[in-house]
Amino acid sequence: MKKLAITLGLCLITAITGCSKDMGNLDVYEESGNTINVNNKRHELYREGAGEKVRNASDDYGFVRHQKSPLMNDNTANDQRTAIDREQLAHIISKYSVNLPNVQDASTLVTDKEVLVAYKTDSKNRNLTADQVKRTAMSVVPRYYHVYVTDNKTLMQDVENLASLDSTNRHARSQVNVVINKMKKSPQGKRLNASEDENGLTPDDHRRNQ
């Protein structure tokens, strides 16, 4: 009888120790490289069960903290240009644009440094609508991007045609520039600030483009 009690006691201690280790590994903060993501494992804390309400992931705030690498010449933080999902950005910009007043249709192309948005509108204030569409796009992409918009619906096809280009092709850049020049004939909205023009270019950007 004593042996049975001792055996059961050892099993219980082992089980409790195992649970403690599992709970210790369930850290709300998960580190990956230089990124600390709070919500990666948060969904594991909310499971369907007796009396529990299933939590919708869309109810969460999005939070990520980045830390500069202590290693010399570690440029991981500068890889954002290649890590961006351009198609997803284009999807979000088009979706947000058609939610604006008087915008019925929007086509968006995202390159490595520009956003091109062609849209259909019945707005009587073309400059206001252009400004709204442009600022909507700028709120989605990194700040170094330049944004061009047009309410010339015939250019929607031109923007769509650019999507089929191979971005590594040396002729792709010139074709993008041709469409941009056409788009700039449409209202581009207000200047962003004293140091940037309507499309977000600084004097240094203009000099580099010459």
102: left (phi over 0), alpha (psi -120 to 50) or beta: left
Tokens of 51: 């009396």
Phi, psi for residue 33 in degrees, rounded to 5 = 65, -125
Q: Which pTM does this prediction carry?
A: 0.66
pLDDT band at 61 (very low <50, low <70, confident <90, very high): confident
Domain boundaries defined on the chain? 85-202
Q: Which residues, at least 6 apart from 156, have a Cβ–Cβ distance to it below 8 Å?
A: 105, 107, 118, 119, 120
Which pLDDT value is given to residue 12? Answer: 54
Residue 141 has pLDDT above 80, yes or no: yes
- Condensed to tens digits (0 to 9), the pLDDT of residues 152-162 reads 999 999 999 99
- What CATH number belongs to 85-202? 3.30.70
- Condensed to tens digits (0 to 9), the pLDDT of residues 63-120 reads 676 677 777 665 555 555 446 789 999 999 999 999 999 999 999 999 999 999 999 9
Q: Which helix (H) or strand (E) holds 136?
A: helix 126-138
Mean pLDDT within 188-202: 93
Q: Give the residue, 58 or 181, on which the prediction is more confident.
A: 181
**58, 114, 134, 198, 209 from 201: Cα distances, Å:** 35, 11, 13, 7, 10
pLDDT band at 5 (very low <50, low <70, confident <90, very high): low
- Which residue in this structure is represented by tokens 């088009």? 94
- Condensed to tens digits (0 to 9), the pLDDT of residues 9-46 reads 555 555 555 544 444 444 444 454 554 444 444 444 34
Strands (E), 62-102: 64-66
Q: Give the residue, 59 or 114, on which the prediction is more confident.
A: 114
Which pLDDT value is given to residue 56? Answer: 57
Cα gap 196→112, rounded to integer Å: 19
Which pLDDT value is given to residue 205? Answer: 85
User: What mean pLDDT, rounded, does the chain reach?
Assistant: 77
* pLDDT above 90 coverage of the chain, percent: 50
